[in-house]
């Protein structure tokens, strides 16, 4: 029998979350962001549930090929554009739309031989200072692109650094408005956080939203808001079973480094999951976990293949009991990936993307 660990991808939840993002920006088209192998879910596994989107956004050309191989004929956007000149050949061949964020990419386009002119998304650096043209250089870049026979249509995009937090988006929105004022073309600004928190503003909804994390059932602004607040559903469950039970007496310790010491008699379940499965090693005693759908806590250190959990709140649990690391238990109880991530000092994004290769994955409704 294989090790009892299993990840489940919930297609109904993906559909639901995508519909939620549409509901938040009903007049916008939706890029389903499927970069990083659909945030660790697997592009092939989420494709059917997300094909109701207007397009797929990603950044790896191999992933774009995979989306086309699934039969998708609609728009695909390369969020970082070409990495080298010959990437443009693939864009021409597969009809990929691509971001243009620097002069080098315009040079490559100008030298590119193609029968089919490209649809490009010119990216403004409105303050995040990652990719994009600075505001004072944006118009010149637009004019250069506009003069190229290789370019069919220019859309305008930017990305927010603080849509999930107190600084907000006003300063970047103003920079975008200013830099793009009388330029024609469709606009795309909002990620998940901007769409959920700021889409009352039609300038944020614009022509296209680009939600990623919310589609995968994680609240972009946790702990300020959780998935229940945003009416999102978990799309990935990581589950395993109890493979050993220990009865501790006061003073007994658990695991490497003896970081947990029992102060009373306590029953401990040892479960088949560890950091080699993608569970964060930084989660320590107290991190929530569900045993038979009942909330309890992790005790001691996470090791490579095992974790210990406190069975006190679940007296009926024992060898073979169901354990939910994140997602939805069989009894319907939800443990959001955000809560676990916060306990490990990270984000739901990182946990879902880091699901290890050795974990078998099934797709369910
Ligand atoms: C990843 C990404 C998104 C999606 O962001 P979420 O926070 O996951 O919604 C949108 N736009 C760009 C440019 C991205 O790189």
Q: Binning pLDDT at 50, 70 and 90, where does residue 128 land?
A: very high
* Beta bridge partner(s), residue 157: 123, 188
CA–CA separation, 186 vs 203, rounded Å?
A: 11
Pair of tokens at residue 69 = 């191989």
Spacing, Cα 190 to ligand 1 middle (Å): 8
Mean pLDDT of 92-100: 98
CA–CA separation, 32 vs 50, rounded Å?
A: 7
37-53 confidence digits (pLDDT tens): 999 999 999 999 999 99
Mean pLDDT of 1-19: 96
Neighbours of 180 (CB within 10 A): 21
Q: What is the pLDDT, as a whole number, of residue 266? A: 98
Q: Is 275 a catalytic residue?
A: no
Q: What is the pLDDT, as a whole number, of residue 348? A: 98
Domains of the chain listed by start with CATH number = 11-216 (3.20.20.10), 236-364 (2.40.37.10)
Q: Is the pLDDT of residue 196 over 80?
A: yes
Q: Which DSSP symbol is given to 68?
A: H
Q: Binning pLDDT at 50, 70 and 90, where does residue 2 land?
A: confident
DSSP assignment of 96-155: -EEEE-SHHHHHHHHH---SSPEEEEEEB-SSS-SSSB-HHHHHHHHHHHHT-TTEEEEE
Q: Is the pLDDT of residue 136 over 90?
A: yes
- The residues near 37 (Cβ < 8 Å, ≥ 6 apart) are 43, 63, 353
Q: What is the pLDDT, as a whole number, of residue 1? A: 76
58 lines ligand 1 (CB under 6 A): no
Cα dihedral 87→92→94→98 (10° resolution): 60
Task: Indicate yes or no: pTM above 0.75.
Answer: yes
Q: What is the pLDDT, as a whole number, of residue 18? A: 98
Q: Is the pLDDT of residue 117 over 80?
A: yes
210 lines ligand 1 (CB under 6 A): yes
Catalytic residue from among 216, 256, 279, 349: 256
Taking each helix axis from N to C end, the angle separating 61-69 and 43-50, rounded to the nearest 10 degrees, works out to 60
Query: In this prediction, what percent of the chain has a pLDDT beyond 70?
Result: 100
195 lines ligand 1 (CB under 6 A): no
Please state the separation of Cα 78 from the chain's center in Å: 16
Mean pLDDT of 259-265: 97
159 lines ligand 1 (CB under 6 A): yes
The residue contributing the CA closest to ligand 1 atom 15 is 79
Q: Which atom of ligand 1 is nearest to the CA of 157?
A: 13
Q: Which atom of ligand 1 is nearest to the CA of 79?
A: 13
293-348 confidence digits (pLDDT tens): 999 999 999 999 999 999 999 999 999 999 999 999 999 999 999 999 999 999 99
Q: What is the pLDDT, as a whole number, of residue 304? A: 98
Q: Are 342 and 335 in contact, with CB atoms under 8 Å apart? A: no
153-179 confidence digits (pLDDT tens): 999 999 999 999 999 999 999 999 999
């Amino acid at each position: 029998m294989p090790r009892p660990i299993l990840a489940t991808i919930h297609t109904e939840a993906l559909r639901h979350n995508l519909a939620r993002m549409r509901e938040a920006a009903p007049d916008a088209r939706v890029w389903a962001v499927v970069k990083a192998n659909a945030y660790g879910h697997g592009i092939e596994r989420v494709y059917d549930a997300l094909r109701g989107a207007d397009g797929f956004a990603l950044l790896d050309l191999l992933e774009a090929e995979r989306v086309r191989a699934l039969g998708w004929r609609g728009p695909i956007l390369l969020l970082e554009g070409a990495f080298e000149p010959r990437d443009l050949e693939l864009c021409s061949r597969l009809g990929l739309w691509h971001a243009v964020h620097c002069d080098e990419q315009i040079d490559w386009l100008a030298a590119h031989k193609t029968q089919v002119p490209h649809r490009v998304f010119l990216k403004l650096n409105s303050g995040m200072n990652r990719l994009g043209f600075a505001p004072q250089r944006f118009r010149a870049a637009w004019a250069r692109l506009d003069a190229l026979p290789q370019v069919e249509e220019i859309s305008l995009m930017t990305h927010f650094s603080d849509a999930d937090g107190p600084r907000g988006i006003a300063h970047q929105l103003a920079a975008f408005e200013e830099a793009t004022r009388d330029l024609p073309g469709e606009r795309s600004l909002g990620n998940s956080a901007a769409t959920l928190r700021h889409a009352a503003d039609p300038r944020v909804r614009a022509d296209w939203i680009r939600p990623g994390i919310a589609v995968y059932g994680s609240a972009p602004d946790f702990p300020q808001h959780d998935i229940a607040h945003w009416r999102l559903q978990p799309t990935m469950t990581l589950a395993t079973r109890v493979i050993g039970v220990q009865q501790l007496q006061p003073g007994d310790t658990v695991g490497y480094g003896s970081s947990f010491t029992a102060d009373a008699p306590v029953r401990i379940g040892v479960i088949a999951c560890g950091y080699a499965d993608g569970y964060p090693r930084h989660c320590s005693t107290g991190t929530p976990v569900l045993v038979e759908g009942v909330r309890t806590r992790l005790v001691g250190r996470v090791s490579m293949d095992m974790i210990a959990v406190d069975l006190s709140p679940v007296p009926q649990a024992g060898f073979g009991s169901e354990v939910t690391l994140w997602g939805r238990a069989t009894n319907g109880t939800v443990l959001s990936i955000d809560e676990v991530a916060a306990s490990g000092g990270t984000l739901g994004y990182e946990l879902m993307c880091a699901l290890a290769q050795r974990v078998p994955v099934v797709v369910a409704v």
